[in-house]
Amino acid sequence: MEDKEITREVFGELLREKRKANKLTQAQLAENAGISENYLGKIERGIYHPLYGTGGKIIDGLHMSHDLFWREFTERLENHKKNNK
């Protein structure tokens, strides 16, 4: 699996986990972030990785710290790469 695919997969998994922890549906989070539910679903499934601005809007829609989200994403990405060598 290429780095881009791994990045999309890890981002999508974390996003889905945080959305569910906040008891939000895809429709609610998409509305909060100003994006389509279809696009959000593709991000969660690892098909797309959002641009930085869109990623920021999604994190805002989760009502969480950007620093915390990106730190957790980076840690998960590093662990995923280390565990799948």
37: Cβ–Cβ under 8 A, 6 or more apart, which residues? 26, 27, 30
Burial 18-32 (b: 16+ CB within 10 A, else e): bbeeeebebeebbeb
The CB-side HSE value for 19 (13 A sphere, CA atoms) comes to: 23
pTM over 0.85: yes
pLDDT average, residue stretch 55-74: 96
Question: In this predicted model, what pLDDT tens digit does every residue of 39-56 receive, in sequence order?
Answer: 999 999 999 999 879 999
Structural domains in the chain, CATH included, are 3-79 (1.10.260.40)
